[in-house]
Each structure stands twice: as C-alpha cells, then as structure tokens.
Structure 1
Amino acid sequence: MRKFLLLCACILLSVSAAVTAFAGDGSWDRVKKEGKLGIGLDDSFPPMGYRQADGKLVGFDIDAAEEVGKRLGIKIEWQPTAWAGVIHSLNAGKFDCIWNGMTITEERAKEVAFTKPYIMDGQIAIVNFKDKRFKGLKDLKNYKAGTQKGSSGLEAVKKLGSAPTELKEYEDYPKALLDLEAGRIEVVVVDNVTGRDMIAKRPGKFRILPGMISKEPFGVAFRKNDKDLREKVQQTLDKMVKDGTMTKISRKWFAEDITNPKKF
C-alpha cells in the first residue's frame, strides 16, 4: 500500500510539474483580462512618438502599437515617463512595455526582454544641400562636425574613416542644424529616423550622405518574466510585417520602408 501511495504521489507531482511547465507566466492573460496594455514612452521623440500642437500623441510607434492593440482586442494606454528612468519604471510595474524607438543594446538586454528588431535605425551624416564637396561618407575629410551631447553620434564619429578637425556637442540636434545651415560646421551626425524627420520639415536645406555610419536596431522592451506577453506582441508584429501593414506605416512616417527584416 505504501509503495502504491508513493507511486500515486510521484505521478501527481509529475502531472503538476507538466501542467505548470505549459501554463505560461500569465502575463498575456493578465493584460487580456484588464483589456489594456500600458506602454511607457518619452512623448517628445519625433517621428516615433510626440505631441502635436493640439496635444494629440502621434508617430510611427503610436500607429504600430495601436494596430497591435486593435488586433489583440485591447486598449493601448500610453504613459509618458522620464526616459532616464524608463527601464526602472518598467521593472517597477508602472507599465507593461517600452515602445519608443528604444535601441537594442547588450547592456539593456541584461535588464529587459526585447522583441526582434522592428526598425533598423543607425547614425547618418547630414550636410548642407548646396555643399558639393561630400558625395559619400568616404569623402569626409578636413571637416567640422557636430552632434548631440551624450548621443550615439559621439561614438559614430569615431567610426568615420577620417576624424573631424573639430567636433562640437550641442544640447539638441536643431541647434546643430542651425550651425550647419550657417556654415559654422559642415556635417551633423544624427540617428536616421530623427535626421530624416528634421530634413523633411525643411526641404531643400539639407541632404543625407548615402549609407549608415552604424546600425542600431529598435525593439519593444518587456520585463524579463513577461515572456507570454512579449511573444503575443511579437506574433502580431510578425503578421503585420507579412501582410504589409508595417510597410504602410513606415512609408507614412519615413517615405520609405525601413521595417523589412530582410534588409536589416
């Protein structure tokens, strides 16, 4: 009898372990039950996510996330937060994910779980539209450059074949572009999506040198334990890439498709 009871106990433990293994972590079930997905972002990052003059939140990430919410049958709840502490806020449970043009890095991947890249961003070089000296990145010689203080542009400049004779650091990119237009510098190193957005708003003033100095993939960040939720969003994004929805959103904001994984 003891052996029989012991055998039954072992079987029950095995079944319980198997059920637990396939039960998932409950993160998607929680969001589905609540009917909303909380997303943290810096709402001043055009064209990924920013406020219009009337206060409406718009941008590439806004359109993409809202479409995911529509397909999953849940509401998207945007939660603006200070970018410096956005990962801490995520892990503290203030929202469910970060969807805001966040570059996937090894350092960040230690703290959060990223989706696959949904955009391949990178650092580019912008010159004055009328400046004919530079046709490509290899032509950058004896030039003064500028970029934003604390940005990835500082590291990108080091990857150029020829170092600038002078590198100015600005509080923001618009100030760098003002100096570029005035001829005080000759090149601005900036991330692709931001640079293209600024150029589009001032046609005929600047142009982008062909090619990228570096590549920086964007991903949606989740808490490490929320594997079910991350996978659900990933599956939806994959479908949006396959059916052309991501291409459509990309062309709306960038006038080209920068969401095709085959081109990453």
Structure 2
Amino acid sequence: MKKLSMMILVMGLVVLALAGCGGKKAEDTAAGNSGSASGKKIIVGIDDKFAPMGFRDDNNEIVGFDIDYARAAGEQMGREMVFQPIDWKSKESELKSGRIDLIWNGYTINEDRKTKVLFTKPYLRNSQVVAVLNKSDVTKLSDLEGKEVGLQSLSSAADALDGSELKSKVKVSEYADNVLALSDLKNGRTAAVVIDEIVIKYYMSKEHETFKLLDEVLSPEEYGIGVKQGNEELLNELQAALDELNKNGKAAEISVKWFGEDKVLK
C-alpha cells in the first residue's frame, strides 16, 4: 500500500512538473507575442547630413522635413518610425538586405532606381542646381570649364552632372555628403557644387552672404520614398497614410514649418 501511495505521489509530482514546463512555455510564447509589437517598427534609412530633409541639430537630434513627415505617417499607420543613418552610397543595398524598410530622405525618383525599389507617389519637387560662392566671378555653366566641381557621391547631383555637357569640361570631386562638399567650396578648394535646390536654399537662408546659384538648372526632379521590391503591402499602407496627411492638412503644416509654404505635391 505504501508502495502504491509512493508511486501515486511520484506520478503527481511528474504531472506538476510537466504542467510547470507547459506553463513556462506558454509564458514564453505570450512574451514573444507581446514582443511582436516591435514588428510595428519601421526602420527608415536616412542621410543625417541632408538639411533640411533629415539632419542633426545643435543637440545632435535628428530633425527635418522628412523626419516630421515620416513620424506623422507612422502615427497615421499606428507604426513607430525608427531613423537609421546609413551610408547613402549603399542605400539600395541596405534596403534589399532588409536592414532598413524605407529609403526616405530627399530620395529622387529616376528610371534606374525604379528597377531597384518600389516608389511611393512623388511628394516634393526639386532640381539639381549649381552653387558658387557669392564673391565668385562664375555666372554661368560655361564659366566652370576646366575648374573643379564638387558633389555628393552616388547622388542625384552626380546623375544630373553625368547627363550634362558640363561633365566633360570640368574636374569632379566626390564627397560623402553635402556638408563636406560645401565646406570645400567655402575653403576655395572647388569652384562650385552641384546640389539639390531644396538643400542649398536651406543653407542660403542660414548663411545669407555665402552662396549664390547659377540661373541654369541641370535637372528637374521629384522626391519619393523607396520601399523594398516585393513589399507592396508596406508600400500601399504608407501611401494611404501619406494621402490622408494631404487630406487632413498635416502635410501642409509640416511643409510650412520647414519651407515657409506648402510645397507638398497633392
């Protein structure tokens, strides 16, 4: 009888132990499910030296038009936007690898990029322009013949110059970002910089007597947001959020904050 009682006791302990393991597994699963809230995060690849679209302020905080616009879209989608500074030369590779979910920082739509990413509808117009120092005697593109011209490597500025007759007439210096390109221009190491009009006008608003623009425009263009090929679900979700920001006036509000006017394409 004692043996039977002992066997029943042992079996009961085994059952309790198994139940405990099952409970632990259930807790782990529940924890995993609650952790899946992180799946709501969207990693946004940016160039953090691309004012006024996305850049670091005096407190080293990432700010800009695209930053505010992305956050507003995230709120509309019920998703958290996480901004990841990347090497802009590797932006499409970063997207393809899954390290980022979006390319969103003054990203120009062009035919080559359309073969690599999915694009939202255009949301801003821009042009590639040529900036020189205000004191420069360069007044037109032909004045740059034989001179050194700076630009951001693997950028729309580089594409615009490549498609221009000017390319064969100048020496080109490539930089990791526009800040370095403009720094060399100010130091007299280059005669001009090919750059986004939206970007240089921001710097001109801060440094009123430093730069001027040549009248000739190299390339008109439009900005869009890049999504990984095959991820139409995210593309459609994002586009619906952007459309709603246009309807409710939030996009215009953000544009006025950064540009002083509503520049967002409807």
Report the TM-score when normalising by structure 2.
0.69
Matched to 2:102, the amino acid is C
In the comparison of the two structures, how many residue pairs are matched? 227
Shift of 1:161: 7.2
Alpha-carbon displacement from aligned partner over 1:200-259 (angstroms, at most 9, x marks no partner): 221122222346320232211112222122112112212323444323322322344432
Q: Percent identity?
A: 33
Q: Which residue of 1 aligns with 2:222?
A: 217
Q: Deviations over 1:120-164 (max 9, x none)?
A: 222112233355873xxxx44333452226344345346667779
Residue 66 of structure 2 corresponds to residue 61 of structure 1: yes
Summarize the Cα distance change of 1:51–1:227 in structure 2 as closer, same or farther, 3 Å threshold: same
Distance apart, 1:170 and its partner CA: 4.9
The reply on whether 1:250 has 2:251 as its aligned counterpart is no
Summarize the Cα distance change of 1:182–1:120 in structure 2 as closer, same or farther, 3 Å threshold.
Answer: same
| 5+ long unaligned stretches in structure 2 | 1-35
Instruction: Determine if contact 2:130/2:195 at 8 Å carries over to the other structure.
Output: yes
CA distance in 1, matches of 2:198, 2:128: 9
Normalising to structure 1: TM-score of the pair? 0.70
Helix, strand or coil for the counterpart of 1:216?
Answer: strand
CA–CA separation in structure 1 for the residues paired with 2:89 and 2:163: 26
Match among 146, 149, 156 for residue 160 of structure 2: 156
Determine the structure 1 residue equivalent to 2:3: none
Secondary structure in structure 2 of the residue aligned to 1:141: helix
**Residue number in structure 2 paired with 1:141:** 142
Match of 2:80 in 1: 75
1:226 paired with 2:226, answer no
Contact kept in structure 1, 2:107 and 2:225, CA below 8 Å: yes
CA shift in 2, pair 1:197/1:164, >3 Å: farther
Q: Which residue of the other structure, out of 108, 112, 125, is the alignment partner of 1:103?
A: 108
Structure that is richer in helix per residue: 2
C-alpha contact (below 8 Å) 1:128/1:207 kept by paired residues: yes
**Contact 1:102/1:219 (<8 A) preserved:** yes
Q: Residues 256 and 180 (structure 1 numbering): CA distance in 2 closer, same or farther, change over 3 Å? A: farther
The residue matched to 2:229 in structure 1 has which SS?
coil
On the 8 A contact 1:147/1:153 being kept in 2, the answer is no
Distance 1:147 1:251, change over 3 A: farther
Across the aligned residues of Structure 1 and Structure 2, the Cα RMSD in angstroms comes to: 3.2
- Which letter does structure 1 place at the counterpart of 2:232? K
Moved more, 159-168 or 78-87: 159-168
Q: Distance in 2 between matches of 1:161 and 1:82?
A: 29
The structure having more radius of gyration, on CA atoms, is 2
Distance change (3 Å), C-alpha of 1:95 and 1:153: closer
* 1:41 and 2:46 are equivalent in the alignment: yes
1:117 correspondence with 2:130: no
1:168 offset after TM fit, Å?
4.6
Q: Which amino acid aligns with 2:112?
A: E
Q: Which amino acid aligns with 1:141?
A: S
